[in-house]
Structures are given as structure tokens and as C-alpha cells.
Chains A and B, each alone.
Chain A
Amino acid sequence: MSAGLVLAGVSYRYAGALGAALAAVDLRLEPGRVVGVAGANESGKSTLCLVVAGLAPSVIGGRLDGSVRIDGVETAATRPHELAQRCGLLFQNASTQLSNTTATVLEEVAFGPCNLGLPAAEVVERVWWALRAVGIEPLAPRDPARLSGGQGQLVALASVLALRPSYLVLDEPTSELDPAGTRLVAEALARIAGETGAGILLVEHKTEVLAHIADDVVVLERGTVALSGPAAEVLADPRLVELGVEPPAQVRLERAVRAAGLEWSAALAEAIE
């Protein structure tokens, strides 16, 4: 039983679609590491999230070739509620991820563990643990329907975390947030990877976020892996722009400085961080 979330030769086609959304993708996500995924629109990033978390094809149909294994177990052989405990999934829109049947954030985060039928004491313990891990304990008595976008995303994150998955997959979690909200979420993710040892797969348009917290970065193009490697290398790769990905501000600044014929030093890079 090897640790890690491994995709081997994975291809996926949506039900009724003509072409494959993913073709021959290999990917490896280790516990405690953050892997960033970037790419142009329609490059397969969202599909990748659904496949990695096992929702495709079991919840949405379609055809999957190749193998997706979480800690050695095939996702195709796992029921959705068990998958939820191995690999958590988050989307862009905070309000559609709330159950909207709970009056307080505490009960909202308890939604998952209660679904599993765990004893009440364990549920409450997990809830406080998840709130602490995400850093939102003060929000516990608040009404989930009245939170800001960033707070809502953090509550959604905590409610998925309360199931204690070993891996987390996030599909553009900050795309509807302002810079303050984005910072909140990014820092929470970095903290979670470090403290809980969860492996995180983060799809992001905002490459600054990836530069900040990702260990490795994968770039998709039309459903295949175009670039893959350590974050610093991939984000500085000249081919990013033609693949439809905007390099992080620091990289763009460095290129502009060098293009103007000026010196770029490590001290400058440090100062910008």
C-alpha cells in the first residue's frame, strides 16, 4: 500500500462528448506537498479535479481510462462517501457548497462528520480541529449564509477538512475572492499542508498564489501535461505565455528588468517577496 495519489495514463471523456477532456495524464501527489495546476481555459483543469477526487465518472458519468489510485486503492472501486474521507474537493463558489440547512458555522462544519454517523463527541472534536486548522474558530456561532466570500470559502474548506481526508483538491478556490480573501485562503492552505500532512492539488489562475505556496507545478494544455516540475522552474519557463498562463508578477518584473538591460539580483528578488 503505497502512499500518494497517483494518476497513471488517465484519459477521460464526458458522457455524450466527442473528444477527450483529458488524455494520457500522469500525475503524482505526495502527502504534505502542494501541487499547483495551471493552464488556459478548457485545458482540462476542472476535469482533472473531478477525476482526481473520484467524482468522475462515479457521480457525473462519462468514460475513464487508466488508473487513479489513492494510497493504493482504485477510486473506481470506492463509493463516494469513502472517497470523501480520502480526498476532499472544493469549488469556486462558496455559497453552493454550503448545505444551507444549518444555522451556525459549527453545525455546517459538522455536516460531513454527522453524515458519517460518528459519535457526537467525536464530531464536535473534529469540528473544532478543522476550525482551528483553517483559522476560523471565531466564526463558529455565525450564520453561514451571511458570511463574506472569503469566509464562506474557509467554512467550505473546514467542512471538507472535518472528514480528515489525506488529500485535498481545490478548483480555483480564490477566483471569486478579493485580494484579502485570496490571501486568507492561500495562507490557510499552506498551514494545512504543513500541519496536517495533507497532499494538496490546487488549480489556480493566479500564479502568484502558486508561486507562494506550491512545491511543484503542472501546466495542462488541451487535456495533456505540457509542463511539470518544481514550482520555481515551471513558473519561470518561457513557454508559459503561449500555453495561456500568465507568469507571476515577480517573473514578469524580472524579465522586464532584464529586457531593459538592467541588472537583476537575488537581493531584489528577496525584497519583493
Chain B
Amino acid sequence: MPDFARRIPVGRYRGLHPVTKAILAMVGAIVALGVRGWTGPAVVLAAVVLSGALAGVLRRMALFALATIPLVVSILLVNTFLYPNARDAIVTVGPLSPTWTGATAALQATMRVVAFGMSAAVFALTTPIDDLLTELERRGLGRRGAFVVGSALGAIPRMVERAREVVDAQRARGLDTEGGPWRRFKGLVPLLGPVILGALGEVEERTMALEARAFTAPGRRTLLRRLPDSRRQQLARWLLLLGSICLVVVSLSGVVKLP
């Protein structure tokens, strides 16, 4: 196999096996969302910042964080000011009375959401999905699953391109992307049509092309690329996964009270 086709990633974090990085993302999600209180999200945030720094993607992660601002603002406002059955007001200004309970809940929810989002962001920024798909297929995923995900990832930019062309053409004819909701809704229909129908029209020929390339042959598909794995990583994966599940169980059952 020539080098250009091997594409082995380098770096302390990026060089990890894709399944390891996927398990890290899964563990991040489990702990950030499943462990009640401050501990879970805090631990995940710390881990995520560390891995982001190792991989050199902190700046791009910040962009992902910025994208969560509308959600975070909503969480903070609605919960601080309108938390059900909360009586401990911080201050009372006219009809508004933010509460400590509400603020606590709001901050915890915010940390949860940001931690989860950032753990997903680290994964998205450091792991080419086709690396992951190849290694999953090696471990039994099946060619159809790998094809569906891989092909979807290729189809999205193609469709965006097509949509952009249609939007430009419609804008030349007066489609409003500003303006009131009804205007925007009306402009939506001429956009949906060509993009969706065009993509669906290709399904027949793509199906035949797949059959013509023996896609439905029985047995395991040959995988040309192999990414380096290590015993240490395999062990770490299992430990992390089991550990995170235990942590969630412990936290939810109240056996140990974590802050």
C-alpha cells in the first residue's frame, strides 16, 4: 500500500487509535450527562481541555463553544428566574426574583451541556470518521453500516453545494432570507424541491453502481488500511468504559454523594 493511502495520523492525542478516541467521547458523554452534580461535568471539562490542548485544537473548540451560547443563555435565564418551587431569592427587583436554587441548577445544566458539547467537539476535530469506520468494520461492523455513515458524510457537502446553487438562483429571483416568517417559509419550498428530488433521483443509478461493484458479495470485506493499536489502549478503553458506568450508577443510586 502506497503511503498516501495509509494516512496514519501523528500526535500525542491524534495518534491514539480511533476506537480509543470514540470511547473517550462516549465516556465523556456518559459522565457529563449521567453523573449528577458538579463533579461529572467538571471532570469531563478538565479532561476535554487537556486533550484539546494536546491535540492543538483549543481554538477551534472555542468556536464550538460559541455556538452553544444561545442555548446557554436560555438555560441561565429560564432557570435562574423561573425555577419551580424555589423560594431563596438572591434579590427582588419588581416582578423578577432570581433564586439561588435556580441559579445553581442553571449553572450545573450549563456545565453539563458545555462539557458534553466540548467532548463531542474534541472527537469531531481529531478523528477522521473513515478511520473510525474502517476500524469498526475490522471489529465486526459490517460493510453496509460503514457505507451508510461514510456515504452520508460525503453526501452532506454535495447537498450543501447544490442547496447553495439553488439559493443563489432563487435570491436572484427574490427569495427572502431576511423578512418575516411567512416570507421565509414561502421561499423555502422552491429550495426544498430541486435539492431533495435531485438527490433522490440518483438513488436508482447509485444502487445499480453498487451492485456492479459486487457490494452484495458475501463474507467480510477486505480492509486495506490498518491503524496502529496497543494493548495499553485496549486495556484503558475497557477500564474507562466500565469505570464511567460505575460512576454513573454510584451517583444515581445515591450510594456516594458527589458534590
- Give A contacts to B, CB under 8 Å: 50, 53, 55, 59-60, 79-81, 84-85, 88-91, 93, 96-97, 99-101, 103-104, 106-107, 110-120, 123-124, 140-141, 145, 156, 159-160, 163
Given contacts A103-B130, A113-B222, A123-B222, contact A96 B205 (CB under 8 A): yes
A84 in contact with B211 (CB, 8 Å): yes
Say whether B214 faces chain A, with CB atoms less than 8 Å apart. Answer: yes
| Per-position 1/0 for B139-169, Cβ under 8 A of A | 0000100110011001100100000000000
Q: Of B2-10, B69-77, B81-89, which stretch is located at the interface?
A: B2-10
Closest chain A CB from B1 CB (angstroms): 6
Closest chain A CB from B169 CB (angstroms): 20
The answer, among A91, A104, A145, A159, for a CB contact under 8 Å with B213, is A159
> Bound complex: CA of A112 vs CA of B147, how far in Å?
13
> Bound complex: CA of A60 vs CA of B208, how far in Å?
9
> Bound complex: CA of A123 vs CA of B158, how far in Å?
29
> Bound complex: CA of A145 vs CA of B215, how far in Å?
20
A140 neighbours in B (Cβ, 8 Å):
2, 4
The answer, among A90, A93, A115, A156, for a CB contact under 8 Å with B214, is A115
A99 in contact with B224 (CB, 8 Å): no
Say whether B178 faces chain A, with CB atoms less than 8 Å apart. Answer: no
> Bound complex: CA of A117 vs CA of B109, how far in Å?
49
> Bound complex: CA of A112 vs CA of B215, how far in Å?
7
> Bound complex: CA of A227 vs CA of B218, how far in Å?
42
Not counting A115-B214, A160-B212, a sample of 11 additional A-B residue pairs whose C-beta atoms are within 8 angstroms of each other reads A60-B204, A85-B214, A89-B208, A91-B209, A101-B147, A101-B150, A114-B222, A114-B223, A115-B215, A124-B224, A140-B2
Say whether B210 faces chain A, with CB atoms less than 8 Å apart. Answer: yes
List B85-113 residues whose CB lies under 8 Å from chain A: none
A111 neighbours in B (Cβ, 8 Å):
213
A163 in contact with B151 (CB, 8 Å): no
> Bound complex: CA of A65 vs CA of B220, how far in Å?
35
4 closest A-B pairs by beta carbon, nearest first, are A101-B150, A81-B217, A100-B154, A81-B214
B1 neighbours in A (Cβ, 8 Å):
120, 124
B211 in contact with A115 (CB, 8 Å): no
A99 in contact with B213 (CB, 8 Å): yes
B215 in contact with A81 (CB, 8 Å): yes
A84 in contact with B214 (CB, 8 Å): yes
Given contacts A117-B219, A120-B224, contact A89 B214 (CB under 8 A): no
> Bound complex: CA of A120 vs CA of B154, how far in Å?
25
B60 neighbours in A (Cβ, 8 Å):
none
A104 neighbours in B (Cβ, 8 Å):
4-5
> Bound complex: CA of A111 vs CA of B202, how far in Å?
20
| Per-position 1/0 for B214-258, Cβ under 8 A of A | 111111111110000000000000000000000000000000000
Say whether B173 faces chain A, with CB atoms less than 8 Å apart. Answer: no
A100 neighbours in B (Cβ, 8 Å):
150-151, 154-155, 158
Closest chain A CB from B86 CB (angstroms): 52
A156 neighbours in B (Cβ, 8 Å):
209
The answer, among B212, B216, B222, for a CB contact under 8 Å with A117, is B222
Given contacts A59-B207, A91-B208, A97-B209, contact A120 B214 (CB under 8 A): no
B212 in contact with A55 (CB, 8 Å): yes
> Bound complex: CA of A106 vs CA of B218, how far in Å?
23
Counting chain A CB atoms within 10 Å of each CB, which of B7, B146, B150, B210 scores highest? B210
Name the residue on B nearest A159 (C-beta): B213
Say whether B206 faces chain A, with CB atoms less than 8 Å apart. Answer: yes
Given contacts A115-B143, A117-B219, A117-B221, contact A106 B2 (CB under 8 A): yes
| Per-position 1/0 for B113-153, Cβ under 8 A of A | 00000000000000000100000000000010011001100
A115 neighbours in B (Cβ, 8 Å):
143, 213-215, 217, 221
A163 in contact with B214 (CB, 8 Å): yes
Name the residue on B nearest A145 (C-beta): B154
Closest chain B CB from A54 CB (angstroms): 9
A91 in contact with B211 (CB, 8 Å): no
Given contacts A106-B2, A107-B5, A117-B219, contact A80 B224 (CB under 8 A): no
Name the residue on B nearest A114 (C-beta): B222
List B151-210 residues whose CB lies under 8 Å from chain A: 151, 154-155, 158, 202, 204-210
Counting chain A CB atoms within 10 Å of each CB, which of B5, B150, B212, B221 scores highest? B212
> Bound complex: CA of A106 vs CA of B5, how far in Å?
8
